[in-house]
Structure 1
Amino acid sequence: MMNLPKNIQQPLSLIYLDANATTQVLPQAASAALSTMETLFGNPSSSHISGLQAKQIVDKTRQQAKRIVGAAEGKIIFTSGATEGIQTAILSALVNVKKTLNKSLNNKSYSLLYGATEHKAVPESLKHWNKILEINAEIKAIPVDEKGQLDMAFIAKEVPNALMVCTMAVNNETGVYQDISLLDQTIRTNNPNVAWMVDCVQALGKTDLVLAQTSIDYAPFSGHKLYAPKGIGFMYVKEKAPFTAFIAGGGQESGLRSGTENLPGLAALSEIFSMLLGESEASFTPIKTLHLYRQQLVSALTQAFPEITFNHSFENSVATTLNFAIPGFSSKEIMDLFDAANIRVSSGSACSSKVTRSFVLDAMGLPAWQSESAIRMSFGPAMTQTEIDIACSRIVSAAQALVQSCLTLDKKNIDTQTMNTSSTTNKTELDGLVQFKAGGSCSWLYVDKKTRSAVFIDPLSEVSERLQTLLTCRGLNLVAVIDTHGHADHKSCRNGIAKKFLAEQQTEYLGWPAGAQTTTIHGQTFQYLILGDKWLIKVATPGHTDDSMSLLLCDPVTDSAEKLQVHYAFCGDLILMDSIGRSNFSTSSAPAMYSSLKLMKSLIGNNSLICPSHDYHNEFTTCLETEMKRNSLLRQVINSEIDIEEFTSKKIKMDKDIINESGSEIMCGALIGACQKVVVREYDSASLTKAVKKSSDMKLIDIREPHEYALQHDEKFTSNVPLTRLVQFVKEQQQNKEQEFVLVCRSGGRSQLAAQALARLGFENVGHLKGGYALHQY
């Protein structure tokens, strides 16, 4: 276990920096909502005194909203939130143009325009109502430049034939704001009558708004982005702008939006408005101070991550949003790190359930790695100096945990000539096998702690920097960097690593060191390298490609007639989880693959761990015994139930069913379907507490990465086995498969994958904590 950073104490208070997704309800707003539910609960449509009291809240909130957004004679309509406001605006505009189109006899080609960085609710709503109303206009995205600014020349060219234009005041991912005055001039110069909606959700409380001084027709807002409850929002509708009620019924909101008003939500919203208007004892932080807060966060992030890249310009973005990427780290890794430090951030937009590339940053033309690694850090005007101070301290401490985990370097302690750290104290112990993944591809690092020697197998460019950092941080001696074959689906970074760490080494093709020693096993001669008290033996295993080889990490050979004691078999794409490598490349050979499979069985036996170069279903590792239970073709080869000719025939048919690509990856295995998931025992806090009391032998294991574990963990989970070292754990526990293990992680996702992998490999009593630390404080 790694020592805790000095600045991190348990338990950690929550630092919430995801305000662009949602905000907490302020005490004043919550109190107003509760009071309304308890004492002013009348229906605003009722004519008795309770109803009149309730209506007073509605009227007061409406007048406050008009003052805040500068509505003048425009209407303020209360909604359930911004999405409803967007729907109402688009429906209103398109119903009106539908009438116009029906009267027109020309065959003009019309379009619907929206900003390329717009919230997904806008283009999806445009598509929906365009289809429903059978308008069939072409929906076009307005391009943006590298700073996120809309292309005015494009608007000027396209808007004359546009039926509606949708833009946003402030972007939810980057905080970039648009020049509303310039937009107004560009749109109206070229089309005075086109309907114009501006999403103002992220602008409320962060910029000054005087909507009546613009030609904006519709502007939706949402309460939960500014400390009010979820489920309350409002929209501005310009005087005389076309309007069609999205919700019909009892005629509330002067018939513009039916349904009983959300009175508690309105009361809470009124309290927020009072703070914005300076009519409350409480107040929001001035915008000038918010800019100072952002600069303080920027300084902390730059100190913590010197190579950080900010994905937007501060000159044209609001003070409350930072969007950045850290080279060498995925957005999920940084989110996991900050979550362990009890800091809440998001990856790009939190409105998507999956961590993927940011379409906003893609539209801005930023490099793919920045889009894939984007982190959004956002706060609101209720942020305090104390919270910012704590956040900055916590950010630096979290980064220090990465240094201790050797994922980043403390450059002050690096001797650049010897490539060794001056001190390795407080570093996590590293001895054995580490797995690196990028998509479905795997790289493998084996380290012998005693001799500080290491070998890197199937090097992926995505993990090159991380590997080099690890080697430097720990002062490891790289013995070799080797590819098991020439990869078709990715570019190896072997040459770059070898040039830096093995410049004098002479190698054969694919990185095997020239002049390696030889040994005889069962009458065959093999070359090997020495890694501490282990040997790494090279075995030619053609089939997937003609240059394919397998690398067997085993005990030294003392008797050529004895069975090898193989710990790990790095077999490239010969044997994959629930699959055999494809054999339909130009350099493939199914007959050769048949012979290679037979040879591998004779060398590694049934239970040696197989470490392939691909893991498409997050199974981590496997062995022949496990694979033969579910792979009938492999079983037939190993048991000599079919000959080379029959295998070749079946393999040709199997390869025809391969889906050539999975996303951007070329599939290297003959996968026919998704692997069947293994069902494992799931615990919640109560059932786990009960189980621990009942069983004194149960072992609780935290499977997050060491830096996460160091920052925050439950003391009862005394062992830390990160996913990157799960295969090493499997090897160490091969004789202990009856032991009861319960795994935990941040949210339950990683622990479930790890538990399933262990169960698949014969571990009989494995379970995990469903929901992880996120849902349970065990």
Structure 2
Amino acid sequence: MSTEIYLDGNATTAVLPAAMQAALHMMGERYGNPSSTHSTGMKAKALLDAVRARAARLLGTGNGRLMFNSGATEGIQTAVLSALCAIRERRERGEPVGSLLVYGATEHKAVPESLAHWNRLLGLNLTLHKLPVGHDGRHDLAALRAVVNDAAFVCTMAANNETGIVSDIEGIAAVLAGSPALWMVDCVQALGKLQLDLAATRIDYAPFSGHKLYAPKGIGMLYVREDAPFTPLIMGGGQESGQRSGTENMAGVAALGAVLAALEDGTTFRTHAQLEQFRNRLAESLQKALPGLAFNAPLELALPTTLNFSVPGLSSKELLDVFDAAGVRVSAGSACSAAKAAPSYVLDAMGLPHWRSSSAVRLSFGPLADEAMIADACQRIARCGEALRVSGMLSGAAAAPLDGVVQLSVNGAHTWLVLDAAGLQCAVIDPQAELAERINALLKAQGYTLAAQLSTRDGSSWPAQDDMLSIGRRKLRRVPIGARKLAYLLEGAAQASHAFIGSAQPQDLVRLVGEDTLLCPGQEACQPCCTSLRAEAQDASCCSGMELDSAALEALLRQHPDACLVDVREAYEHAADSAAPMGRAALSVPLSRLAGEAANWLASERQPPLVFFCRSGKRSEKAVECMRRLGYRAAWHLEGGLALSGVAGTLALAA
């Protein structure tokens, strides 16, 4: 895979080449401080004024203020502070002011957080009121009309960052007509995508962020309507005509100016019609690749650069992982909260079913997208669908039956599956309600019969007459451990290969299993994968020196041609990828199947070096630590994973 396809433009964008050149020129040639009165400073000031004038033309600011700042969050803070200070002053003069700070239920979190912060600090004790939205994601105008007489400040957005839904600005303005309430509209996603004529509206404040449209991070703008109240957030040297102190970020201003110039010339960016065509092609590719896909916002009401969708039976993480493996960068929602595993509050506010809000994916691109990128993206989307299909992840898709031991985890707890491919039987140990749908889908897709659901805490579900249960050619033996605890021993021809021990401690099994029997706990806190009595006797030194950087990996592969590269990503990620470290073929052993494969590696007389890898290095670190503790010392992992190591090759992975 030679390049990535970046489809997370609502989070940020690459910097326009002309913008990079403008920033470099500013830093190297026109580096003056625009507050200085000598010629070098005057040149900087001239550029500052020229960029401001261009922005004013594009945004239609009229006689309103337009100041440069660090970005949207600062702009929102400044607007909120200005509005709330004005409300306090009006109240102190005895003028009627509303009691509500109204904000859209789908606003970026920066808005309600800023409202709460300044409301508290200024001692206003106003009530924050969440304005509902409809199923289409647009603000409920009837609900706004019901509270408009009590509204002191109203905050909405031009277009939503997660769904792309374009707000009915004219409808909101009509409701606010005659109201003294101040109005902020978050225009972060609007720049370069919607026509704006701010002075022709009653909008009081409009923040913008440059990095959403090919400018660097750390540069933004705030529009303040003529005669709208204003209070500076930052005081000091009086820059920006006293509106925002601090020496201006001239490299950022120059870069933003280059982007605005490209926007004004009308030839650099794609037209609205072209962007709609691109979006429709991506939407069609997604629907073909992912059966049952549901779009979470009406396309006719959304920006032509945004798609938000969910797929039945697939989590956001699973979709993001398979897309990332194929070199397609998408997100699960707002970049500011993407690391938090929670349903989308935006989709929840729209009243969508929980499965859609908890498994949503956002695909977004910028107006620099071209035909080649869209065509490549569509091909890779198809590859993702095929990878999910052959892995049995899509509804109605069949994959090669799994065999042996599989680990599923959620919220720090482990559920274990014992699968027999020959007899198509499965036993589930310590099942979790959150995994029920996934396990049922897996068994149905692969034709398995559920032989038993067993608990290490309660033996009432045991279906056999004695303490032995057959799962195909294997047997599970039930063993009591102390009071109200059970273990299940997986036995073949010889001694137990695995013991599923729930919350028991390894030392509780001393008289029941061999020192190399793999102990499979019920909690991440005990072990992320598996352990053994021998492993528990190891000291921490066995896990030192586990990491390989690219140079060390290359040296190891030269020294040990028989070394085995092991991809511990899920099977669908492995299937979607077309690259491996150093271009070497790799074995697919997902971390969820490590406990099953570890027994085979440990039993092998010839133990070649194992090098584990994944996307980030987190899963592979768990794998190598497990193998080292189990006694397989010739094991390492790729530090930083494929994302950071820079060693991904170009040969296809081996199945």
Instruction: State the TM-score, normalizing by the size of structure 1.
Output: 0.76
Question: What secondary structure is seen at the aligned counterpart in 2 of 1:171?
Answer: coil
The answer for the alignment partner of 1:67 in structure 2 is: 57
1:384 aligns with 2:250: no
Aligned to 1:537: 477
Which amino acid in structure 2 is aligned with residue 445 of structure 1? L
Are the aligned partners of 2:193 and 2:367 in contact in 1 as well (CA < 8 Å)?
Answer: yes
Instruction: Please state how far the C-alpha of 1:12 moved relative to its aligned partner.
Output: 3.8
2: distance between equivalents of 1:249 and 1:301?
52
Give the aligned partner of residue 76 of structure 2: 86
Q: 1:576 to 1:159 in 2, by over 3 A?
A: farther
Other-structure match for 1:362: 348
Q: Which sits farther off after the overlay, 261-270 or 301-310? A: 261-270
CA deviation map 1:66-97 (0-9, x unaligned) = 12221111111111111111111111112222
| Offset of residue 336 of structure 1 | 1.1
The answer on 1:734 being equivalent to 2:613 is no
Following superposition, the deviation at residue 296 of structure 1 comes to 1.0
Matched residue, 1:554: 491
Does 1:608 pair with 2:594? no
* Aligned equivalents of 1:227, 1:142: Cα separation in 2: 32
Rounded Cα–Cα distance in structure 2 between residues aligned with 1:212 and 1:105: 26
What are structure 2's unaligned runs of at least 5 residues? Answer: 648-655
1:229 paired to 2:219: no
Query: Residues of 1 paired with 2:471 and 2:81: CA distance?
Result: 72
Q: Which residue of 1 aligns with 2:579?
A: 713
Cα deviation for residue 201 of structure 1 reads 0.2
Pairing 1:253-268 to 2, within 5 Å after superposition: 253-268=240-255
Is structure 2 residue 421 aligned with structure 1 residue 512? no
| Residue from 491, 496, 505 that aligns with 1:566 | 496
| Residue 694 to residue 137, structure 1, CA distance change in 2 (3 Å) | farther
The residue correspondences of 1:263-342 to structure 2 (distance < 5 A) are: 263-277=250-264, 279=265, 282-342=267-327
In structure 1, what is the Cα distance between the partners aligned to 2:626 and 2:355? Answer: 30
Aligned partners of 1:577 and 1:619 also within 8 Å = no
Aligned to 2:403: 431
State the Cα distance separating 1:458 from its structure 2 match: 4.3
2:567 aligned partner: 702
Per the alignment, do residues 736 and 264 of structure 1 end up closer, same or farther by CA in structure 2, a change over 3 Å counting? same
Q: Does the CA-based 8 Å contact 1:312-1:323 persist in structure 2? A: yes
Matched, 1:160 2:160: no
Q: Distance in 2 between matches of 1:528 and 1:309?
A: 43
Structure 2 letter corresponding to 1:728 = G
| Distance (whole Å) between structure 2 residues aligned to residue 97 and residue 763 of structure 1 | 69
1:120 pairs with 2:50: no
Tell me by how many angstroms 1:236 deviates. Answer: 0.6
- Cα 1:623/1:245, change in 2 over 3 Å: same
Q: Percent identity?
A: 43
CA distance in 2, matches of 1:622, 1:543: 23
The counterpart of 2:190, out of the listed 200, 203, 215, is: 203
Which whole-Å CA distance do the structure 2 matches of 1:755 and 1:716 have between them? 19
Whether contact under 8 Å (1:58, 1:266) holds in the other structure is yes
Change (3 A) 1:479 1:465: closer
Which stretch of the first structure deviates more once superposed, 464-473 or 154-163? Answer: 464-473
Q: Is the alpha carbon distance of 1:59 and 1:471 closer, same or farther for their aligned partners in structure 2, counting shifts above 3 Å?
A: same
Please state how far the C-alpha of 1:60 moved relative to its aligned partner.
Answer: 1.8
TM-superposition CA deviations, 1:89-125 (whole Å, max 9, x none): 111112222223334499x983322212111111111
Change (3 A) 1:213 1:754: same
- The yes-or-no answer on 1:575 pairing with 2:575 is no
Letter in 2 for 1:565: Q
* SS across alignment from 2:177: helix
Q: State whether structure 2 residue 654 is matched by structure 1 residue 773.
A: no
Instruction: State how far apart, in whole Å, the 2-side matches of 1:458 and 1:326 are.
Output: 27
2:592 to 724, 727, 730: 724
Residues 623, 223 of structure 1: alpha-carbon distance in 2 compared, 3 angstrom cutoff: same
Deviation of 1:218 after TM superposition, in Å, equals 0.6
**Partner Cα distance (2:623, 2:506) in 1:** 15
Which residue number corresponds to residue 446 of structure 1? 418
The aligned amino acid for 1:622 is: T
2:5 maps to: 15
Opposite residue 529 of structure 1, the aligned amino acid is S
Separation in structure 1 between the aligned mates of residue 170 and residue 505 of structure 2, nearest angstrom: 59
AA aligned to 1:89 is: A
**Distance (whole Å) between structure 2 residues aligned to residue 611 and residue 722 of structure 1:** 16
Question: Aligned with 2:337: secondary structure?
Answer: coil
665, 668, 682: which is aligned to 2:547? 682
1:214 aligns with 2:186: no
Q: 1:526 aligns with which of 467, 492, 496?
A: 467
**Which one-letter code corresponds to 2:623 in the other structure?**
A
Structure-2 change in CA distance of 1:577 and 1:41 (3 Å): farther
**What CA distance in whole angstroms lies between the structure 2 residues aligned with 1:341 and 1:388?**
14
Does the CA-based 8 Å contact 2:102-2:151 persist in structure 1?
yes
Corresponding residue of 2:650: none
RMSD: 3.2
Matched, 1:177 2:166: yes
Structure 1 counterpart of 2:652: none
CA distance in 1 between partners of 2:269 and 2:491 (Å): 65
Pair 1:153–1:624, CA change in 2 (3 A): farther
* Partner AA of 2:496 in structure 1: V
Shift of 1:542: 8.5
1:345 Cα offset (Å): 0.3
Separation (CA, whole Å) in 2 of partners of 1:368 and 1:749:
29
SS in 1 for 2:231: coil
Q: CA deviation at 1:724?
A: 1.3
Q: Say which SS state the counterpart of residue 351 (structure 1) adopts.
A: helix
1-side partners of 2:98 and 2:152: how far apart? 10
| AA matched with 2:504 | I
Query: Which stretch of the first structure deviates more once superposed, 177-186 or 25-34?
Result: 25-34
Note the C-alpha offset of 1:625: 5.8
Q: Identify the residue that residue 484 of structure 1 maps to in structure 2.
A: 455
Query: How far is 1:23 from its partner?
Result: 0.4
For 2:589, the aligned partner's letter is V
Task: For residue 333 of structure 1, give the secondary structure of its aligned residue in structure 2.
Answer: helix
Which secondary structure does the structure 2 equivalent of 1:197 belong to? Answer: strand
Q: Secondary structure at the match of 2:238?
A: coil
CA deviation vs aligned residue, 1:141-174 (integer Å, no higher than 9, x gap): 2222222222333333334333322111111111
Deviation at 1:197, TM superposition (A): 1.0
| Distance of 1:136 and 1:274 partners within structure 2 | 44
Q: What does the per-residue CA deviation read over 1:2-58, in whole Å, with 9 as the maximum and x for residues that have no partner? A: xxxxxxxxx242111000000011222222222333333232223333333322222
Separation of aligned partners in 1, 2:506 and 2:229: 60
- 1:343 corresponds to 2:208: no
Displacement of 1:602: 4.4
Shift of 1:202: 0.3
SS at match of 2:366: coil
Contact conserved, 1:145 with 1:364, CA < 8 A, in 2?
yes
Distance (whole Å) between structure 2 residues aligned to residue 576 and residue 304 of structure 1: 45
Match of 2:394 in 1: 408
Are residues 211 and 613 of structure 1, via their aligned partners in 2, closer, same or farther at CA, if it must alter by over 3 Å? same
- 528, 542, 545: which is aligned to 1:619? 528
SS of match in other structure, 1:396: helix
Q: Which moved more, 1:767-776 or 1:685-694?
A: 685-694
Q: Displacement of 1:554 after TM fit?
A: 0.5
Contact 2:61/2:197 (8 A) holds in 1: yes
Letter in 2 for 1:187: L
When the two structures are aligned, how many residues end up with a matched partner?
A: 641
SS in 2 for 1:19: coil
Label 1:451 to 1:105 Cα distance change in 2 as closer, same or farther (>3 A): closer
Residues in 2 aligned to 1:603 and 1:486: alpha-carbon distance in whole angstroms: 18
Unpaired runs of 5+ in structure 1?
1-10, 412-420, 488-507, 517-524, 557-563, 579-596, 631-676
- Residue 656 of structure 1: aligned partner: none
Contact 1:702 1:717 in 2 (8 A): no
- Kindly state the Cα deviation for residue 775 of structure 1 after the two structures are TM-superposed: 0.9
